[in-house]
Amino acid sequence: MFSFIFKRLLQSVVVMLTVALIAFAMFRFVGDPINNMVGQDTSQADREALAEALGLNDPFIVQFGRFALNAAEGDFGFSYKYRQPVSKLILERLAATLELSFVAAVLTLAIGIPAGVYTALKSKGLLSKGIMTLSLVGVSLPTFLIGILLILLFGVILRWLPTFGRGEVVALGWWTTGFLTASGLKSLILPSITLALFQMTLIMRLVRAEMLEVMRTDFIKFARARGLPDRAVHFRHALKNTLVPVITITGLQLGSLIAFAIITESVFQWPGMGLLFIQAVADVDIPIMAAYLVLIAFFFVVINMIVDILYYAVDPRLRVDNA
Amino acid sequence: MKLRTGLLAATMAAAIAVAAPAQAKTFKYAFQGDLSSLDPHSLNESFLLATLGNVYEGLVLYGPNLEIMPGLAEEWKLLTPTTWEFKLRKGVKFHGGQDFTADDVIFSWQRTLSEGSDQKVRGGQIKNITKVDDHTIVVETPAPNPILVQDLPYLLIMDKEWSEENGATNATSAAGDNTGNYANLNANGTGPFMVESHKADVKTVFKKNEDYWKDIDGNVTEVEFTPIKEAPTRVAALISGELHMVYPVPVQDWERLDKAEGVKALTGPEARTIFIGFDQGRDELLYSNIKGKNPFKDQRVRAAFVHAVDLEAIKEKIMRGAATPTGLLAAPQINGFVESLNTPYAYDPEKSKALLAEAGYPDGFEVTLDCPNNRYVNDEKICQAVTSMLAKVGVKVDLLAQPKSKYFGKVLSTSGYDTSFYLLGWTPGSMDVENVLSSLIVCQDPENKKGMFNLGNYCNAKVDELTAAIGSETDQEKRNAMIAEAFKIVKDEVGYMPIHQQPLSWGVSDGAEVNQRADNGLDYRYVTVK
């Protein structure tokens, strides 16, 4: 187990380096950072001096090398725009993104799995058909549209919920949380639903398909023949056997929830990392872009590792094979 | 029991009602961009300076209509053509309690010239400042400069003592060692508002400075600023009643605001002029099918282009009637504006075709138009309209619309003016026409930092001579005559294709009153919340 985790962490370094290398190769096509960093009256000599001081005139491989060496020491440099350390900026935003992704993930599982089970068991019921139709909407509508529709309905027309931001937050050390105030919790509702909707429908459809599959297998028939009650058949035997692929997908989707919170964050002006990143792209704030991409790569590697470990826990056969 | 509770509730309600007038008046608003720094010398950008103008002040201030008003200086006079005397205001204190004196002015001026400062252009207008006493200074300029005070509202004054104590004597640099400067995240000015809290790109809260040296018109005690990047979110936040004001509002959303209850669109002409420029410098255009010569060097071709574009149609169809078509590169709010030259070139496609034929291009030619798509109001749509209008006279325009970082990375001096035909907007930082002439119209001269935004290198020796004279002429009448002469030459030679002054577009709830300044700046001094 130990050597497995160690190997995975080594791999993560390679993944992060690759992501950073590709990112640096692309940054030259994003535009000119200097023009966003100075006013219109700033002389050309000053602009050139600034580009030189930032090392923007170096070949990208040199810029990449410098970034990788500093990053290895935990130094991600200073944001061009905010003139503050990138690590501090990202850390400030991390809490917002993680809280949003966490709530979205809970919603996804708490609604997606039961709905999947229900539609599999009562596949001919009216409610099931209704849920399936709704889930099509969730899969096919783009996130920003869902976000704007929710804002329009609950923020502008009904005025029940705030349309943007995180509300009041409480600081716990460096972590800020919106869970402890009424406005913070209210602010979470629309963005988390927007972010969760696609994943929710995905998980629901996956659970439903797996469940239908498992229900046809011999051991379920056998369980029924033994006269076990429906509840035990459905939940103890069938559901447990559908979980392996669900865990894989959920794990991967959790990474996507964090990474693709970008759109939800910018629709709701949610002050998370995604918003910071999208703003950095517009401003060509290279240090923020680089650090963010590397961090997301790291998240994906770690989540994949946890998923692999969970396999061992859920599926005894894997343990036997590797013993 | 019930009666008592009722009575208690009634008493409490009455108490709250009585207490209400003394309660905080909070004004909440959103802008599309963020206050990237609190350091007044870090970035020469209009939003940052206009916003920090509520916290820090210059020797002079902008009034509600961009007029110059006394600020930290009570009065000033010209001693010799190159020296000015300023009498500083007495009894002014910084937010931290420090006294405002001549030393602070000298310190702040030196700070604008420090490593990392983006205000070197403003600071460079001054050669030396000598302290006569604590409240009198003599300012020396490198050459006679009649419009020195025009450049001073945004030369914001910091406290020397505070800056030295906190190691912030140099401006916050975008590169180098002093990033993370104390003044980047903290402020100590003399203005009517103090920074209560600041979280970059999330929220900034300002609180009224009760010890401000002057009574202000507005009644707000607290201001909450949030950047909201996405326009639909911004507009929704206004209509839902969460904010008192948002800007900019997309022109196409005005109708929606008018229909919604309790909010309205507040519009007016901005001091920014949108125009199109031609590469007249190169012997062959970089992006055209005409080889061996540059058609834009021919005045008839430039004239053909300006007569082919229907500014009224752009105004009506793209700007919802809210733009002001113009014939000049300087707006009416700019000091030195020449009313008589502001009539746009006439829309006359027949004349345009005739001119093209006369110049030897009866079937037109091809050229690429560089255009930003997220910098000015409806910038890409304007370019599309120009493209189709030019197509009607036979010119095939290839439109290259890009985000501003890509666009400016291509067309500006740092990339060697890599363009043949481009759309640009300009508000002079000094609000004076001299800046328009020396940035957009005089020949490119990198050594003397002239003509840096004259991307197409329009060049006329007489105009250069006049511009130099305008820069140092102290007699207003003579100066105005020279300004008119210079602009007339540019207009007659069709140096540029002016399009319009773009509209300011703010969304304001009925619960607040604000003053819309033509540089798109919001001054909290004039904000009233009901």
Q: Collapse the DSSP code of B273 into the 3-class scheme (helix H, G, I; strand E, B; otherwise coil) and give the result.
A: strand
Candidates A164, A265, A286: best to mutate against B (most CBs of B within 10 A) is: A164
In angstroms, the CA A10 to CA A197 distance is: 34
On whether the CB atoms of residues B243 and B306 are closer than 8 A, the answer is no
Q: CA of A201 to nearest chain B CA: how many angstroms apart?
A: 25
| Measured CA distances, B483 to A40, B273, B432 (Å) | 22, 17, 11
In angstroms, the CA B233 to CA A266 distance is: 9
Amino acid at B57: E
Domain boundaries, chain A: 86-321
Of B122, B185, B405, the CB nearest to A32: B405
Contact (CB<8Å) B452/A163: no
Q: Is the Cβ of A46 closer than 8 Å to some Cβ of chain B? A: yes
B414-436 pLDDT, tens digit each:
888 999 999 999 999 889 999 99
Candidates B41, B47, B230: best to mutate against A (most CBs of A within 10 A) is: B230
Contact (CB<8Å) A53/B175: yes
Contact (CB<8Å) A84/B226: no
Q: CA of B229 to nearest chain A CA: how many angstroms apart?
A: 7
For tokens 């804002």, the residue is A151
Contact (CB<8Å) A80/B449: no
Q: Is the Cβ of A50 closer than 8 Å to some Cβ of chain B? A: yes
Residues 87-126 of A with CB under 8 A from B: 89, 92
Q: Is the Cβ of A168 closer than 8 Å to some Cβ of chain B? A: no
Q: B421-426 and B396-402 as β-strands: parallel, antiparallel, unpaired? A: unpaired
Q: What is the mean pLDDT of residues B256-271?
A: 92
On whether the CB atoms of residues A41 and B451 are closer than 8 A, the answer is no
- Name the closest residue on chain B to residue A165, using Cα atoms: B202
Spatial CB neighbours of B419, under 8 Å, sequence gap ≥ 6: B279, B286, B287, B368, B370, B410, B411, B455, B456
Q: What is the mean pLDDT of residues B379-395?
A: 96
Contact (CB<8Å) A148/B240: no
Residues of B with Cβ-Cβ distance to A162 under 8 angstroms: 240, 242
Q: CA of A217 to nearest chain B CA: how many angstroms apart?
A: 50
Residues of A with Cβ-Cβ distance to B439 under 8 angstroms: 40-41
For A171, the token pair is 């600081």
Residues of A with Cβ-Cβ distance to B36 under 8 angstroms: 81-83
For A131, the token pair is 């849920």
For tokens 């995975």, the residue is A8
B233-263 pLDDT, tens digit each:
999 999 999 999 999 999 989 988 989 989 9
- Name the closest residue on chain A to residue B435, using Cα atoms: A41
Mean pLDDT of chain B: 92
Angle at B76 between CA B72 and CA B78, to 5 degrees: 150
Amino acid at A98: L
On whether the CB atoms of residues A192 and A103 are closer than 8 A, the answer is yes
Q: What is the mean pLDDT of residues B300-323?
A: 95
In CATH, the number for domain A86-321 is: 1.10.3720.10
Q: What is the pLDDT of residue B10?
A: 46
Angle at A86 between CA A83 and CA A90, to 5 degrees: 125
Model confidence at B478: pLDDT above 80: yes
Residues of chain B with pLDDT > 70, as a percent, come to: 95
DSSP-assigned beta bridge partners for residue B245: B29, B508
**pLDDT less than 70: residues of chain A:** 1, 318-323
Q: Is the Cβ of B92 closer than 8 Å to some Cβ of chain A? A: no
- Name the closest residue on chain A to residue B403, using Cα atoms: A282
Contact (CB<8Å) B412/A37: no
- Name the closest residue on chain A to residue B231, using Cα atoms: A267
Contact (CB<8Å) B201/A271: yes
| Residue that wins the pLDDT comparison between B463 and B24 | B463
Contact (CB<8Å) B118/A151: no
Residues of B with Cβ-Cβ distance to A275 under 8 angstroms: 201, 229
Q: What is the pLDDT of residue A13?
A: 86
Q: Is the Cβ of A256 closer than 8 Å to some Cβ of chain B? A: no
Q: What is the mean pLDDT of residues B174-178?
A: 72
In CATH, the number for domain B42-184 is: 3.90.76.10
Could you give the ipTM of this predicted complex?
0.88
Candidates A80, A90, A97, A269: best to mutate against B (most CBs of B within 10 A) is: A269
Candidates B202, B229, B426: best to mutate against A (most CBs of A within 10 A) is: B202
Residues of A with Cβ-Cβ distance to B232 under 8 angstroms: 148, 151, 267
Domain boundaries, chain B: 42-184, 272-502
B92-112 pLDDT, tens digit each:
999 999 999 999 999 999 999
Q: Is the Cβ of B273 closer than 8 Å to some Cβ of chain A? A: no
Contact (CB<8Å) B429/A41: yes
Contact (CB<8Å) B44/A44: no
Residues 212-231 of B with CB under 8 A from A: 226-230
Contact (CB<8Å) A83/B172: yes
- In total, the C-beta contacts within 8 angstroms joining chain A to chain B are 166
Q: Is the Cβ of A302 closer than 8 Å to some Cβ of chain B? A: no
Of A35, A53, A81, the CB nearest to B409: A35
Q: What is the pLDDT of residue A219?
A: 87
Contact (CB<8Å) B185/A84: yes
Spatial CB neighbours of A97, under 8 Å, sequence gap ≥ 6: A258, A261, A265, A270, A272, A273, A274
Model confidence at B133: pLDDT above 90: yes
**Whose CA is closest to B144, among B424, B468, B432?**
B468
Which option is the CATH number for B272-502: 3.10.105.10, 3.90.550.60, 3.40.630.10, 3.40.50.970? 3.10.105.10
Residues of A with Cβ-Cβ distance to B237 under 8 angstroms: 155, 163-164
| Measured CA distances, B285 to A78, B102, B297, B304, B367 (Å) | 40, 53, 10, 17, 8
Model confidence at B292: pLDDT above 70: yes
DSSP-assigned beta bridge partners for residue B222: B26, B207
Model confidence at B378: pLDDT above 80: yes
